[in-house]
Amino acid sequence: MLKNLKGLIIIDEIQRMPDLFPYLRVHVDLYPNSRILILGSASPDLVRQSAESLSGRIGYIELTPFYSKEVGFSDTLWIRGGFPKSYLAASDKASRIWLSQYIRTFLERDLNTIGFNIIPEEMRKLWIMIAHYHGNLVNYSELGRSLNLSDMTIRKYLHILESTFMIRLLRPWHENISKRQIKNPKIYIRDSGIFHSLLGIKPPDLIAHPKLGASWEGFALEEITRLYQLEKEDCYFWRTHDGAELDLLIYKEGKKIGFEFKYGHVVKVTPSMRIALDDLKCDKITVITPGADAYALHEKIYVQGIEGLVNTSPTP
């Protein structure tokens, strides 16, 4: 079937035909110079099956929605999110309609198609609840009590949303210091458009909305992970029971880089930043804001507008 094809071979919607993997292994072994691009929804079972069938013969790339390096930073990207049909919609209203329909289709059809057995209405309620927790610590028991679901079901559903790239569970960083440190992960909805849609936030309302800061934090966090080409294993947050914290801590190539995400344009050095420098021995801390401004607050603490960061080649 494949041997007569030349050049790059593209197979889309691979989740509909997972039985192809053994045949692809034979083809790659017989024709080692062939190039095959496999596209599809990456459910855990599908990734595991591909890894077993194509061990040593396959690599994985996460195709994210648009981000600032591709389309430039704008309020439109932040408000509508990066899914192409939402970002490129003819109007904000058309974008909201598409996002609403996408959420419904994802819950009622896509999850079952890729092998997850869930109750759509339960998952919808949990997803909306997560939007209210966005940027906060996960409390499995509280989520379960609110939705009348067991801890086990909550953990199962969160795993599904994480493995389908809809949420981010940001792990805590632990340092050998005297202070008591938080151990629960923080939770974020990865696409800002989905976050706004779940909460019913319209563009004119965002600036005065109580979730403005949380919205900016989640959006900026995803931008940084993509701009710095970070893996999940590179990303943490840090918080003590005394209140010192960093929104994001990168540990990569032996360096500790801290990030804070602030929507306001007036930024100053906080006690948390000083404690993080002293206790964690951070190489630097960067406060990410909208705009393009960049300046130093301290010899190791900097302010960087995300619009300006997009036009550079950031490295940890």
- Condensed to tens digits (0 to 9), the pLDDT of residues 11-46 reads 887 777 777 778 778 878 888 888 888 887 666 566
- Domain annotation covers residue 62: no
Query: Three-class SS string for 203-241?
Result: HHHHCCCCCHHHHHHHHHHHHHHHHCCCCHHHEEEEEEC
- Domain annotation covers residue 60: no
- Domain annotation covers residue 58: no
- Domain annotation covers residue 47: yes
Return the DSSP state at 181.
Answer: B
Q: Nearest CA to 199 among 82, 120, 112, 81? A: 81
Same domain, 36 and 91: no
What is the C-alpha to C-alpha distance for residues 41 and 43, in angstroms, rounded to an integer?
6
Same domain, 101 and 197: yes
In this structure, what token pair is assigned to residue 93?
């209203």
The H or E element that residue 146 is part of is: helix 140-147
Same domain, 42 and 100: no
Residue 298, domain extent: 68-310
- Residue whose token pair is 């028991």: 141
The H or E element that residue 298 is part of is: strand 294-298
- Domain annotation covers residue 229: yes
- Domain annotation covers residue 3: no
Per-residue pLDDT, averaged over 91-99, amounts to: 97
Same domain, 181 and 47: no
Q: 100-116: per-residue pLDDT in tens?
A: 999 999 999 888 877 78
pLDDT at 130: 96
Same domain, 39 and 79: no
- Domain annotation covers residue 167: yes
- Domain annotation covers residue 59: no
Q: Nearest CA to 81 among 186, 206, 171? A: 206
Q: Does residue 49 contact residue 23 with C-beta atoms inside 8 Å? A: no
pLDDT above 90: percentage of residues in the chain: 61
Residue 9's pLDDT band (cuts 50, 70, 90): confident
Looking at the predicted structure, is the pLDDT value of residue 269 above 70? yes
Overall number of domains in the chain:
2
Region of poorest pLDDT, from 50-54, 232-236, 242-246:
50-54
Same domain, 134 and 251: yes
More confident residue, 253 or 295: 295
Same domain, 180 and 48: no
| pTM tops 0.75, yes or no | yes
